[in-house]
Amino acid sequence: MTVIDAMIGDVRERAGNLWALTVGDGIRPERRTPHVVVGVGEHRTLLRFADDGARAAARVAGGTPVLLVPPIAAPATCYDLSEEYSMVRHFADTGRVPYVVDFGEIGFRDRRMGLEDFVLDIIPQAIARTVTDFYGADGAGDVDLVAWSLGGTLSFLTAGAVRRRIRSVTAVATPLDYMSLWGYPLAIAANRPTGGVLPSAVIGLAGGIPAPAVQLAYRATSWQRELKKPWFILQNLGETEKLARMEVINRFQRTFPGYPGRLTQQLWERLIYRGQLAAGLVRLDGVDVDLRSIDVPIQLFGSHRDALCTWRAARHGVDLFEGSPRVQFETIESSHLGLIAGPDAVERTWPAIDAFLDSLAPVGDPAAG
């Protein structure tokens, strides 16, 4: 190939990428890992990312299924972001059988949904469906819960309330002490004179936090990246792989759902303003959930580079989960999303989860924990 041929090829690649990002269909089409729909329902679709043969092999080998719980205001695709950064693909490739509960889109019509709907109904049903699908209708066994961000909060509340069919809980970048998050102490102090009712009233009138506001807030946490994006594109028009990775994140951000009104009020009033999450005793309607009594092994991840969950907020769980036979904390320096889907996740987070799960004995085994 001559120098002129190389220059012409480079110009074509740059022009093609510019066209794809502006008026075309994108650098690359979205690709999802093949999966099986195990159960359907409003805000509770359960997906299995392994075929029947892989499931049977894992069961014969004595494996334990992994149920991934997404955050409230992030799509379940966070665990299947791209072919390169797919946690479910990694689990399947390493012999595990991963399941994901998909909460779907959440809008104004869901404003009356609260923590109870997820903690006492949706996630326990997903656990039961996973157990039945993996072990068989007459089988018995447990699941490993793996979650990111607020998905970890939901998983811990479920483990504290349900207390069955859970072998372990892994939470990546889950804030467990809101007083250790930037801005929250100031917000709590500012609302002391009114008893914290003003934010709840605003949330109630709005019916929650709409999806566009959630998407904008997430982008604001990485405002430097957003400001530099046009220059990044111009600098890398000839770098198709870099632009494809950027496109994956952009698509992901555009699919963030909203927060339901009642749940958002509970997050503010109970978990944040009253500090019930950090104290370990969360009062839900009809049940008090004692996180300090969770008696299964727990793995936590934190980062000093995370703009949404500080290292201290994640590490608070080491002291909080006093009933657990083992609380393992991992420090991996990456962004909030990068901890589960990115180069740092591939190199460090996923192998650390593998090692933790491999180290666990079956529940009921004297060597467990």
pLDDT score, position 317: 98
- Asked if 144 and 65 touch (Cβ cutoff 8 Å), the reply is yes
pLDDT score, position 369: 43
pLDDT score, position 3: 56
Q: What is the DSSP string of 217-243?
A: HHHHTTHHHHHHHHHHHHHTTT-HHHH
Give the residue ranges of DSSP H helices in 80-149.
87-93, 115-116, 123-135
Token pair listed for 340: 């589960």
Query: In the block, which residue shows the tokens 């665990």?
Result: 79
- Asked if 344 and 333 touch (Cβ cutoff 8 Å), the reply is yes
Residue 308 — left, alpha, or beta (φ > 0 → left; ψ -120 to 50 → alpha)?
Answer: alpha
Q: What domains are defined for the chain?
A: 31-182+279-358 (3.40.50.1820)
pLDDT in 10s for each residue of the chain, 369 residues = 565 655 555 556 656 556 556 656 666 667 789 999 999 999 999 999 999 999 999 999 999 999 999 998 789 999 999 888 999 999 999 999 999 999 998 888 999 999 999 999 999 999 999 999 999 987 789 999 999 999 999 999 999 999 889 999 999 999 999 999 999 999 999 999 989 888 888 888 778 877 777 767 666 665 566 566 665 666 666 666 666 676 767 777 777 788 888 999 999 999 999 999 999 999 998 789 999 999 999 999 999 999 999 999 999 999 999 999 999 999 999 999 999 998 999 999 999 999 999 999 764 443 444
Residue 55 — left, alpha, or beta (φ > 0 → left; ψ -120 to 50 → alpha)?
Answer: alpha
Pick from 152, 52, 63: which is nearest to 357 by CA? 63
pLDDT score, position 367: 44
Token pair listed for 294: 């969770």
